[in-house]
Amino acid sequence: MITHVVLFKLKDRSSETIARTVRMLKGLSTKVPQIKGIDVGTDVLMSERSYDISLTVKLGSLKDLELYQTHPEHVKVAQYIATIRESVAVVDYES
């Protein structure tokens, strides 16, 4: 099992931008067949060092991670997020 964790810090931290981004990320669960599980969370502390949104995706293998990352629906969401993010951090690990 591969766990893909992404943290997003947004340029615009408005509730509308966060809600739209969360909806798009959660929507991937029904559009990308390689996803075994998905969790999307939003920061509650809003500190200077906080990231705004976390994404955790469970995938069956490294091949599934590759298919997920190149899936047209994921690419569409990633392109949108690239326009609104200030920074991003990623970790992928095997469990």
Q: What is the pLDDT of residues 15-65, one digit of tens each?
A: 999 999 999 999 999 999 999 999 999 999 999 899 999 999 999 999 999
Nearest alpha carbon to residue 25 among 81, 86, 88, 89:
81
Name the DSSP letter for residue 32: -
Domains and CATH numbers, the chain: 2-94 (3.30.70.100)
Separation CA 62–CA 12 (nearest Å): 33
Q: pTM of the full predicted structure? A: 0.95
Residues 6 or more apart in contact with residue 95 via CB below 8 angstroms: 1, 2, 3
For residue 67, give both structure tokens: 């298919």
Looking at residue 56, its pLDDT comes to 98
Looking at residue 5, its pLDDT comes to 98
